[in-house]
Amino acid sequence: MQTEISSGPAFAFGEIKLAPGSSVRVEAGAMAMTRGDVAMTTSTRGGFLKGLRRSLGGESFFVNDFTSQAGGLVAVASPLPGDMTHIPLTGGTLLVQSGSWVASDPTVDVDSAWGGSKSFFSGEGLLLLRCSGQGDLLIASYGAIRDYTLNEGETMTLDTGHVVAFDDTIHYAVRKSGGWKSTLLGGEGLVTDFTGPGRLWLQTRNSSELVSWLAVRMPSQRDSSS
How are beta strands 155-159 and 127-140 bridged, if at all?
A: unpaired
pLDDT, residue 2, reads 92
Q: Which residues contact 93 (CB under 8 A, 6 or more apart)?
A: 130, 131, 132, 167, 168
pLDDT at 40: 95
Q: What are the per-10-residue average pLDDT scores of the chain (226 residues)?
A: 94 97 94 96 62 49 88 95 96 90 94 54 58 95 96 94 93 76 56 94 88 78 58
Contacts of 167 (CB under 8 A, 6+ apart): 92, 93, 94, 95, 198, 199, 200
Handedness of CA 78, 35, 3, 102 (dihedral sign): positive
Burial class, 160, CB count within 10 angstroms (exposed 0-12 / middle 13-18 / buried 19+): buried
Neighbouring C-beta atoms of residue 139, cutoff 10 Å: 27
Distances (CA, A) of 59 to 26, 37, 43, 62: 11, 27, 13, 8
User: Would you list the domain boundaries of the chain?
Assistant: 2-216
SS3 of 97, please? coil
**Dihedral, CA of residue 17, residue 81, residue 93 and residue 137, to nearest 10:** 0
Output the pTM of the full model. 0.81
The confidence score (pLDDT) of residue 211 equals 76
Structure confidence at residue 44 (pLDDT): 65
CATH classification code of 2-216: 3.60.160.10
